[in-house]
A = this chain, B = another copy of it.
Amino acid sequence: MPTQHISSTDLLSMEQRYRAAFINSLGGFKSLCMIGTKNKAQHTNLAIFNSIVHIGANPALIGFIVRPDSVERHTLENILETNYYTINHLNETNYKQAHQTSARYARETSEFEACGLTEEYLNQFHAPYVKESQIKLGLELKNKVDLTINGTILIIGQVVDIYIPENSIEKDGFVNIEKCGTITGSGLDAYYHTKKIARLAYAKPNIAPIVI
């Protein structure tokens, strides 16, 4: 297939929304989730994020990027106020509602109610889970890292509670999130099913990759 080259000069000349859609497509498929929070006044908030990143397994740390000038700021404010939040996977039955949480609702509106999703409280955890998600994590804030280069913030939390469908953990600890219904995304607004190609064994020099 012939290749097209786009330079940094070309990027500068792009219209702003076009460039946002373009650059957001380049990093590959993304982790999608809804982050659930509740402030001290008991107002809940729910927002879709596509910037989840694994930070470490021991302790179990997950990060995500927040743009403080956007609707994401309500999520940030609630996390900083209470220290707790939930990460909830998207699936084919809730992705439209999840997308809808990105609309600019007023501060006092709960996206749970406005978008047709159900708050769920489990084991005395402060923040609400999404009942319609099949995989849900409860996290405690550990670090707020200001990325001075563009004013975004990396929030790092420790996973303290995990809810997954029974029988979804394979014998080596791998969770079959495809079987659980988790979907993936691209750009700012595209949603996808997955179809497994293969799992590959732990790689060693001079041994060809082995399907497991």
Binding site for B on A (CB under 8 A): 1-8, 11, 14-33, 50-63, 65, 87, 89-90, 92, 95-97, 99-105, 109, 114, 122-123, 134-135, 137, 142-143, 145, 147-150, 152, 154, 156, 158-166, 168-169, 172-175, 177-178, 182-184, 186-205, 207-209, 212
Please state if B135 and A22 are interface contacts (CB–CB under 8 Å): no
Contacts A31-B27, A194-B29; is A174 near B159 (CB within 8 Å)? no
A65 contact set on B, CB distance < 8 A: 53-55, 63
How many copies of this chain?
2
Minimum-distance CB pairs A-B, first 7: A21-B173, A18-B173, A28-B31, A25-B175, A29-B184, A192-B194, A22-B173
Contacts of A137 in B (CB 8 A): 26
A161 touches B17 (CB 8 A): no
Q: In the complex the two chains form, what is the Cα distance from A47 to B122 in whole Å?
A: 40
